[in-house]
Amino acid sequence: MRKRKANTRAEDYPGGGRAAAGIDALAEQLATYLPAEQIERVRGAYAVGARAHASQKRKSGEPYITHPLAVAAILAGLRPDAETIIAAILHDTLEDTGLTRAQLESGFGSTVAELVDGVTKLERVDFASRLEADAESFRKMLLAMARDLRVILIKLADRLHNMRTLSAMAPDARRRIARETLEIYAPIAARLGMNAIRSELQDLGFRSLYPDRYKIIASRIKRTVGDRRESMAVIERALAERLAADGIPVQIISRIKAPYSIWSKMKGEHKTFAEVMDVYGIRLVTDTVAHCYQALGSAHSLFKPVEGRFKDFIAIPKANGYQSLHTVLFGPFGAPIEVQIRTEDMNTVAERGVAAHWSYKTEATPPNSAQVRARAWVETLADRQAATPSSIEFLENVKVDLFPDEVYLFTPAGDIQSLPKNATALDLAFAVHTDVGMHAVAARIDGKLASLRSRPVSGQTVEVITAPSAAPNPQWLEFAVTGKARAAIRQYLKRLQHEDAIDFGHRMLESALDTRGYSLDSIPPTALDRFLAEHSVRRLEDLLSDIALGNRMPDQVAAKLTALGGSATGVALHRSEKIRISGGERGILSFGNCCHPLPGDDIVGYLSPGKGIVVHRVECPNVVELAKLPERRVEIGWDKDVQGDYRVELRVEVVNRPGVLATVSAAIAEANSNIDDVKYIERGIQAATLIFAIEVKHRKHLADVMRRIRNTKVVNGVYRYPL
């Protein structure tokens, strides 16, 4: 990989005439901001890449090197450094050619090698599915992003060119890539403030996924824009005259909505095409922040503003660094005018995001706010992925964080927290600090007490109330929105589940050993270690957890352990002793929907692989069938101290007349029971039969509910269901 002479011609390189012309065009583009010696390094990278890809073709039949060249050209429009351009040209060499990382590092330095490696996918041979492989490759890319944000610039440019040339792919591949682009890469571009790339990715993805819808909307946009050209000119002329009279320098740009944006609004807001398009969009670009606010005043004096539609993203920037003033005015032609007002610098950041005025962290020039915010976001994701073992789960958490809409909340200290739309007070607690979220019990929103489920709106001040004894519970996952909150809650619950599984598995194994006259303490450590090694179990705790989760049968484990050695303790003294349950064993107990067991019922458990113990009433009809699997049976009973609410169903036969449902529901509520569901299963002229799914604490509580129902004057009978 020797450096080439500065006067080397493009046609001297391999890759064909079109590719040679491409490197010349790229060099001209780079000459506007890079010195000649850096451009020669780029030419050298092209020579290496063209030789490495010499025998490869794209699906379209073009030489493969045309793709990395196009990726580099997209990036050149963002004016990054030479290392980024070189890495873009070489970004597929590690994955698709015989070049090694050591060769890249030797020829172009460690930075380029690190960037190329960060964009390179993982081999799929080690994964069970494409989904798992893609998720793990995304995790790898994210870690590389945390070290160097230029990795995601290359990846987005790579995806953009692939989307531009997607027509050469098979239909199934087109749909899969388009969906992935809309779900992951376009939102990432938006999150990093790269709105020009985000918009093109969305439209290309929309066109590939829904080609007919795209054609219809695109043609209607073209027709609508043509019809309103004169009225737009009138509005622009009126604004230009007023701003000039007020001494405010300004560039006025008409904004045309993109097909994907229109389709999203039609779908998300249930609007017709006419309703979405019945809006004029104008952007005012001026020179200073002061002139932005003065231009706002001028626009408001010319056309009346729509109340409640003003947003100041200059004072409070979006999470991706975006800054602008937004207002909506009553237009002269009966349609509203959406106006954005920003400086030239803000406009550049709005289009390019982290790539605007690119300054890498090793340079003296401080990075812009978009870069600071992007690095903070990526570092947060990197911390979260370390605590999420499953790549697929981590990818889903990231998707949650890529919501396009945001709310801005204040803490009592005056700090601003940006959260996704529909975020709750609980999400804010985790945004402030993980420890605050873990011990949250309630919130005060603008001074008023509120639950953690509450959804504050932008501008409100939220104070999180904590208690040292508080801890997450599974219900939190029902309303937590942000990936950070959900990942922390899941991690805590999994740890609790593992602890409960170890404890319960220990009791089950001890019970199985006891029937043979042994105990776990009587099994020699050497015998236990041999068993663990033979069955590929790392440690005793994992074995006990496997037993509780139904992945290993306690009797079988006990038989093998005793066969390996140990001293019998004598005749089993507790053969008939049941394992007592409190009902709160997390993740290892479930209750059969066929019989809905309650505290106080005679119960039996059966091990189900991966689910743990499924609890049934002894008289449940399914127990007869389960009895054919005696090795899975677990003798269990209720502990003295049982807490929580348990689902049970009641069959209620009523007189069919108006108000009967309300009467029965009131009786259930008076007995301090909640109704989960109710449905009619029979309905005649004189009588009807309903099934109520309710929550009770135990058999005695159920008896009280049934007595109150019978005492109403509208019930012919009430029975536990199924009988």
Which residues belong to the active site?
95-96
Give the residue from 556, 555, 574, 568 showing the smallest Cα distance to 524.
568
CB count within 10 Å of CB 672 equals 12
> Alpha carbon of 372 to those of 81, 206, 399: distances in Å?
18, 31, 21
- Is the dihedral angle over the CA atoms 512, 518, 519, 521 positive or is it negative? negative
Phi and psi for 269 in degrees, rounded to 5? -105, 5
Q: Which residues of 267-278 are buried (b: 16+ CB within 10 A; e: fewer)?
A: eeeeeebeebbb
Region class of 280: left (phi > 0), else alpha (psi between -120 and 50), else beta:
beta
Give the residue from 46, 67, 33 showing the smallest Cα distance to 4.
46
- Token readout for 182 is 């809309």
| Tokens 């219900």, residue located | 475
d(CA 430, CA 417): 11
The residue count for the chain:
723
- Is the dihedral angle over the CA atoms 332, 334, 336, 337 positive or is it negative? negative
Which stretches within 57-170 are classed as H helix? 66-76, 82-89, 93-96, 101-108, 110-119, 130-147, 150-164
Dmax of the chain from CA atoms? 104
Write the DSSP symbol of residue 167: G
Dihedral over alpha carbons 194, 195, 200, 206 (to 10 degrees): 110
d(CA 277, CA 259): 11
Give the residue from 116, 151, 115, 121 showing the smallest Cα distance to 138.
121
d(CA 27, CA 514): 80
Give the residue from 366, 342, 371, 343 showing the smallest Cα distance to 356.
371
d(CA 180, CA 199): 15
| Tokens 């299963």, residue located | 681
Please answer whether residues 687 and 716 qualify as being in contact, where contact means their C-beta atoms are separated by less than 8 angstroms.
yes
- Is the dihedral angle over the CA atoms 532, 537, 540, 545 positive or is it negative? negative
d(CA 554, CA 594): 25
What is the helix (H) or strand (E) element at residue 254, kind and residue range? strand 251-255
d(CA 152, CA 192): 9
Phi and psi for 673 in degrees, rounded to 5? -120, 145
Please answer whether residues 115 and 72 qualify as being in contact, where contact means their C-beta atoms are separated by less than 8 angstroms.
no
d(CA 705, CA 692): 11
